[in-house]
Structure 1
Amino acid sequence: MDDIQDSTQAATIAALQTERDQLLTLLKALPDISFVLDEDGLYVKVLGGANEAMYANGKSLEGHTLSNALPPAVAETCLTHVRKALHTGEMQTVEYQLRVADVSLLPSVIRDCDQYQTEQWFEGRALPLPSYNHPKPVVLWVAINVTPRKQLERYWREAAYSDPLTGIANRRAVFEQAEHEIDRAHRHHRPLSLLVLDIDHFKTINTQYGHAQGDEALRQFTQGCVDLLRDTDFMGRIGGEEFVVLLPETDQVGAQHLGARVVEAIPTLDVPGMNHGHRMTVSIGAATLLEHEGFEELLRRADDALSSAKRSGRNRLRLGER
């Protein structure tokens, strides 16, 4: 009876070893790089990575630990997921950023390559690897380079929230940011102001110089405004030649001061292709947030002030009624 049990156990172990060997052979040919890591973060074996455009050769990592090879934060994250996979017996997945040039145990000839100087995104998948011939429990860590996917996600995210002509926030982003800032201002009882800006006689610019030159004027106008803003201010384009600037932590006096600076600065812009005698000007309406007021009410008061500035002759700032 014992002989039968021993034979069965031996057959099971042999089958597992065969399955493991087949798996490792397969991994060697895969484009994604894989690592056998033990519970202490030791690189037991490096496999795969056949796609040389996406992965560096990591053979030099074998025999070293995650903490020796990787930046501390990345090493800690990876080791945490290795141990969690071993504890639960289930695959663990994590995304992390890493510059290949920062993997200190790679040869300098690899780390100095231009393609490895930029931050890349990886998706790590840690799966327990039973019956592996190693004194301590190990996982198979598959590192998938997901940088192209992340770049695409970033592109579409920016496209959804930015104005393609000027590069600043679009209407959607402005409204979302405004709701966030107004909620914060009310919650902490802090001041917030809004400027609504409209380039004077912009249609004349388009008619006289053409739409391409009009686009350049919009870009120059945007940059001229941005140069005057603080890092905490938020500028967006909500219409053809209409812009808004959210001013957190800014009362009416501060909004009036910034608005006046913008009115003074815009005519000094030298837009390439435009007649030197033709200077852009801007009309601005300003409003400061009232207690319990929402963005639509604040925007309406600033817009009314803008209309007043236009009726008064343009190229000026008007304050909204409280």
Structure 2
Amino acid sequence: MFSEDQLADILAALPDPAFILTRSGCYAAIFGGSDLRYYHDGSGLVGKSLQDVLHAEKAMWFAKEIEKALSSHQLHIVEYGLAGSDVKGLEGGPSNVIWFEGRVQALNFQVRGEDAVLWVASNITERHELETQLRSLSERDPLTNLFNRRKLLAMLEDQHELFNRYKIPTAVFIFDINDFKKINDQFGHLMGDQALQAIAQSCIAELRAPDMAARFGGDEFVIVMPHTDQNQALSIIERLSASIEKTTAAIGFANGIRISGGLSEIFSGDTSVDEVLHRADEKLYQEKEAGRRRMSELPPLEKT
């Protein structure tokens, strides 16, 4: 139906590059990649191996995905990122990660004496960035950029499951702003919003990488501290509280804003995360009732 030259032209016209990769990771052939907006000429890869082109960790990842496709003999679809740091000898390459969807299919014949796959790589960077933005919007509080209630509850569910399986402790701290209503009434909601944003900055600055800060609603925040029991969490809370006073003082509240909080952790008898949050919330209101750490009067707003 088509001559060999016509078939070669058809393969060369494929917008996305199609690689023939052997089980050992050799680039046996490359077709397509004609969409020059997203791809460079890859013909120089033919005859090289994944280990020649990529650093060890990334080359190993590709080898495992090739093996999965060869084992299943079904279409294997993966999403992956490639950065300049993944490629050997690449200077002046893109600093950002480029994302691809790989469609990998085992071939019914051997290439260069080895089992092989057809790997079609489609550049999905724009789609991936859009999905990341949409996911962030669905998980973040727009005012503070902390996680929102939905994301918080999902993480707590994960930690509850980990505790049930492996007894990994997780501390939970709920806090709110003392006399927040007075701040809004006396200084206006704009100043109240600035206070919430300053508290979020303290959370981001003072918490550890595994910790999670969320705005639970209004002026109420929740901190989740994995691999941490209540006693271990105390020093983190003290540091956070001091940082909040300092940060809010810097935006105009004399002596800074103080918080009241309740601390709990996941226990063996907890059947849901609601029980953990309820315990912490009860301790928060017990602290308020006792009058500890409450402002006796709202400090004046400093003029700047």
Q: Where on the TM-score scale, by shorter chain, does this alignment land: which range? A: 0.7 to 0.9
1:122 to 82, 100, 104: 100
The 5 Å alignment of 1:199-238 reads 199-238=177-216
The answer to whether the 8 Å contact 2:198/2:244 transfers is: no
1:94 to 64, 78, 85: 78
The 5 Å alignment of 1:119-268 reads 119-127=97-105, 139-189=117-167, 191-268=169-246
The answer to whether the 8 Å contact 1:216/1:271 transfers is: no
User: Which sits farther off after the overlay, 195-204 or 44-53?
Assistant: 44-53
The 5 Å alignment of 1:279-290 reads 279-290=256-267
The answer to whether the 8 Å contact 1:169/1:236 transfers is: yes
The answer to whether the 8 Å contact 1:263/1:315 transfers is: no
Percent identical among aligned pairs is 34
Residues 128, 235 of structure 1: alpha-carbon distance in 2 compared, 3 angstrom cutoff:
closer
The 5 Å alignment of 1:75-86 reads 75-79=59-63
Q: How far apart are the structure 1 equivalents of 2:279 and 2:53?
A: 58
Q: For residue 78 of structure 2, what is the amino acid of its counterpart? A: V
Q: How far apart are the structure 2 equivalents of 1:275 and 1:22?
A: 74
Q: How far apart are the structure 1 equivalents of 2:102 and 2:225?
A: 41
TM-score normalized by structure 1?
0.73
Q: CA RMSD in A?
A: 3.6
Structure 1 gap segments, 5+ residues each: 1-14, 317-322
Residues 295, 93 of structure 1: alpha-carbon distance in 2 compared, 3 angstrom cutoff:
closer
Q: How far apart are the structure 2 equivalents of 1:83 and 1:290?
A: 42
Q: CA deviation at 1:198?
A: 0.6
2:45 to 48, 61, 65: 61
Q: For residue 257 of structure 2, what is the amino acid of its counterpart? A: M
2:285 to 289, 304, 307: 307
Q: How far apart are the structure 2 equivalents of 1:66 and 1:290?
A: 48
Q: CA deviation at 1:199?
A: 1.0
Q: How far apart are the structure 1 equivalents of 2:266 and 2:158?
A: 13
Q: How far apart are the structure 2 equivalents of 1:88 and 1:286?
A: 49
Report the secondary structure of 1:97's partner residue: strand
Q: How far apart are the structure 2 equivalents of 1:225 and 1:90?
A: 47
Q: CA deviation at 1:209?
A: 4.2
TM-score normalized by structure 2?
0.77
Which of the pair has more CA radius of gyration? Answer: 1
2:274 to 296, 302, 315: 296
User: Which sits farther off after the overlay, 24-33 or 183-192?
Assistant: 183-192
Q: For residue 292 of structure 1, what is the amino acid of its counterpart? A: G
Q: CA deviation at 1:196?
A: 1.2
Matched residues, number: 294
Structure 2 gap segments, 5+ residues each: 295-304
Q: How far apart are the structure 1 equivalents of 2:243 and 2:68?
A: 58
Q: How far apart are the structure 2 equivalents of 1:131 and 1:251?
A: 57
Q: Which residue pairs with 2:301 in the alignment?
A: none
Q: How far apart are the structure 1 equivalents of 2:169 and 2:82?
A: 40
Q: CA deviation at 1:243?
A: 0.6
